[in-house]
Structure 1
Amino acid sequence: MPNHYRYIIFYKPYGVLSQFTQETPKHTTLKHYIDIPDVYPVGRLDWDSEGLLLLTNNGQLQHRLANPKFGHQRTYWVQVERIPNEDAINKLQRGVKIQDYRTRPAQVRLLSESPQLPERDPPIRFRKNVPTAWLEMTLTEGKNRQVRRMTAAVGFPTLRLVRVSICNLNLDNLQLGQWRDLTVSELELLHNLPKTN
């Protein structure tokens, strides 16, 4: 058991694997950005997703945040192809069927303007004459590629996906590719999360 726990948040760029081991030379991993021994991501973000990643060496906290039965909130800004109608948003809010699984109800709203985000490298593929829109989606579970599967299921494929918060933690003033230790108040809130949902 480590005597000293570390808790850091990282603004993961597009194209970075949520792991420290490099499977092939062409993969960029967390070790290209974070030089801290024995911390591991809580949950994951796919290589083609961006945003907030929490890392710690506290296995108990890792378990609590990653386990779906505790139902901790994660919020994403999701750029989709075309403008979702009310029917699609209602379906996302109620939960949609992806393969043999129905997602839990989610908080979903259409953002009135594009969020302030750094440019993605490489940029998303724009299609002439096909508008895009941004959704804010808050989930309490994290199935494999869930947000992408949900928006596809209602006919609005995801073009860009950025996680902006986990529980009380958010990107705030963190720059793309940067990390920092959690503040004392952030840690207190994290440790005082309900033990069950």
Structure 2
Amino acid sequence: MSYDPTGHLLLTPVDREAPLRVRRLRQLGVGERPDPVFDEFADRLAEVTGAPYTMVNFIDEHRQFFAGLHTPDGVRPGADLGAAAAGAGAVSRYMDRDHGYCPHVVVRRKALVLEDVCDYPRFAGNPVVDEIGIRSYLGAPLIDRTGVALGTICVVDTEPRPWGRAGLETIKAMAAELVDQIHRREDGLI
């Protein structure tokens, strides 16, 4: 883990599994371009949780890529748009690895529930709070049959949300469902 020398806040954790993850993502053929199946999954995740933003997120050494994306206005930018091109407050398919909470979920390999990120000093200083206005996060890792944490599924809101135990169980169950779908795709069953 690394620390901000001025505030001693926890920053993005060191991810020693990233090279292995990148190899596995390439083997599976995911994580480099938008995928309609993952977009549909993100839409269903939004419907189930009531969250305005939902993502199927694959993470490499330097960035996060939302292969599945749901936004409240239904806009899904293409893979050619970077975070900088999206502008302040806009949603892109890409995000720097040091932004957001998914890198923590991948390294910890555990679901993360932040009903109000401002209640957690180590997470309140994340750039997504000021730059995008994120106030609530719920995410779970996508751990495949080889043991690699491929990425996450997550839901975020610009308002605090009482996710509770039900939210935690929902996000974990949906992550397991998506991993199963990825395995069936790899096996040629879908």
TM-score band, normalised by the shorter chain? under 0.3
Relative contact order, higher structure (CA 8 A, sep 6+):
1
Determine which structure has more spread, i.e. the larger CA radius of gyration: 1
Write 1 or 2 for the structure with the bigger share of strand: 1
If the length of structure 1 is used for normalisation, what is the TM-score? 0.24
If the length of structure 2 is used for normalisation, what is the TM-score? 0.25
Write 1 or 2 for the structure with the bigger share of helix: 2
